[in-house]
Structure 1
């Protein structure tokens, strides 16, 4: 039960524009150390981002740039298992490293949102965002502060460990498997989490009608390019694949 949890905030839609980092270290499931820092992204601050986290250009004035903080960051991450909630923080660190032509941290990433989807199907209707999960779990925190979010992601992970009996190693193995295992061919066993490196990560796909090949294969293909596969058509579905016996049955409507 030893791991690191991290969160970052960004100045604008460019994921490399990190303006705050928060990191916590857990040993035997207990918080041992914490570290946070503002970061000068050497980039503009978008109004939408400021509205989310409240960090402004004035607040980070005089703060170190990402490259200056990199040695301290790698000291924390090292060869550890690093928890982050969704792929965002991992990709932000990777993009910032690429922007400064420095090596990616040699850690093993573990997405606590993927953990949560496998630990609690009952939360699916409210979503697996950090705020929703913490509200359901009774953990109070100040959202969109990097250190607070890092602690919140750690609490989600610890609660999932308690719920399932899995430890860090167990979850590293479990997140690579489908959300629903087994089944008898029902819609539930085609649910998949999307590949976080896929082009369509963040989109939700559903299949209906008669497909030319097994639906499980379609689900695997969709998940490999980033889609989260839903077993039914809901408001969260962004892409709907309709299998039809013949194109002549399709009716096109133009506005």
Structure 2
């Protein structure tokens, strides 16, 4: 099975545009490829998000917007089960971007949330935030940088595989237009 760990950063509290995306492709039990890009969200940045991500209007000024980037990342994103840490956030932002740019897309997207995996595999951890999990698993993390966050998310998935977890039991379907998990 192929898994596509991804992470997005956003420019403001609306969380309806991306300012960067990171992707890590997992096959077997290893990351075989990575991709990342800045994205011009074509909207304003809030100071909170600037402080968190280090991104601002001047940094992304010459980056492609989401519609320009989509033809590059769509084949990757559609090539396996999506994986994200607190997946509802990243999937919601993806949905907003697809709809804002009127990009045709599939209705249901299979995904795994590594927060749930972490809780199952490591119930003894004090919490299952990405930075906590990275620290406890001795993974290098440059937090709130989409490329680093996606790689660590992929490594958490691989850790679950090494613990013998049946990932199909953690795979859900996300309804993109409704922005919710299918029950």
> Contact 1:9–1:53 (CA<8 Å) still a contact in 2?
yes
Structure 2 contact 38–63 (Cα < 8 Å) conserved: yes
Q: Could you tell me how far apart the structure 2 residues matched to 1:173 and 1:84 are?
A: 16
CA distance in structure 1 between the partners assigned to 2:18 and 2:62 by the alignment = 15
Which structure dedicates a bigger proportion of its chain to strand?
2
Q: TM-score of the superposition, structure 1-length normalised?
A: 0.64
- Say yes or no: does 1:97 pair with 2:98: yes
Match of 1:156 in 2: 156
Partner of 1:60: 60
C-alpha distance 33-47 of structure 1, shift in aligned 2 (>3 A): same
Contact kept? 2:29, 2:161, Cα under 8 Å: no
- TM-score, structure 2 as length reference: 0.88
Structure 1's unaligned 5+ residue stretches are: 177-195, 199-223, 225-255
Report matched runs for 1:1-255 at 5 Å: 1-86=1-86, 87-104=88-105, 107-123=109-125, 126-163=126-163, 165-166=164-165, 170-174=166-170, 197=180
3-state SS of paired residue (2:180): coil
Q: How far does residue 172 in structure 1 lie from its aligned partner after superposition?
A: 2.8
Q: Give the 4+ runs in structure 1 shifted more than 4 A.
A: none
- How far did 1:2 drift? 2.5
| 1:23 Cα deviation after fit | 0.8
> Is the 8 Å Cα contact of residues 23 and 34 (structure 1) preserved in structure 2?
yes
1:130-166, Cα deviation, whole Å (9 max, x unpaired): 0011111111211111010000001111112212x12
Indicate conservation of the 8 Å contact 1:12/1:46, yes or no: yes
Tell me how far apart the structure 1 counterparts of residues 132 and 105 of structure 2 sit (CA, whole Å).
Answer: 31
| TM-fit CA distance, 1:7 | 0.6
State the shift of 1:197 in Å.
3.1
- Greater C-alpha radius of gyration: 1
Larger RCO of the pair (alpha carbons < 8 Å, separation 6+): 2
Number of residues of Structure 1 aligned to a counterpart in Structure 2: 174
